[in-house]
Amino acid sequence: MDLRGFLKDVPDFPEPGIIFKDISPLLADPDAFAEAVECMSAPFCDMGITAVAGIDSRGFLFGPSIAQKLDSGFVMIRKAGKLPGATIGVDYDLEYGSDRLEMVDGVIDELDRVLLIDDVLATGGTLGAAFELMSAAGAKVAGVSVLVDLVGLNGRSKLPDVPLHAQIEVN
């Protein structure tokens, strides 16, 4: 199945000049969604993944299903202030300011092999911060899986050298 056909271009969102890749049509089609989960998890089936970490918010859409496929747990990586109890976090810079990612303290540790999940790899800032967060928790990032890589933005160059799977590459 060609999943590229389920992406919808939305011009000038979230600001003028940006062409947003909307995954809503893919999520609305059960066969396309199942295919996306299968494709995003398959390269990591034999890597001993113990935790799948989904990045707020669209990583949450794929992460739990991928975790189930890999027989592992699911960890939420959220924007600051969204999780209860003790958290650990990292601050990171964006093109237009800064942000913070957090996760519940103690849900992963140095024994975990983590697969990071997000819908789109753009500039690499958010995924880079997720790597930092996993390192702060002592876990090893074993790989990254995204639905779409916006290759023209060269986000891969900002990430550590681990297996990275993108089901769809877009210029």
Catalytic residue list: 58, 95
Instruction: Report, in angstroms and rounded to the nearest whole number, the Rg of the chain calculated over CA atoms.
Output: 15
Alpha-carbon distances of 13 from 8, 16, 61, 108, rounded to whole Å: 12, 6, 21, 35
The values of phi and psi at residue 160, to 5°, are -60, 160
Cβ neighbours for 129, distance < 8 A, ≥ 6 positions apart: 90, 91, 92, 99, 101
Report the chain's terminal Cα–Cα distance, integer Å: 20
The values of phi and psi at residue 96, to 5°, are -120, 15
3-state secondary structure of 138: coil
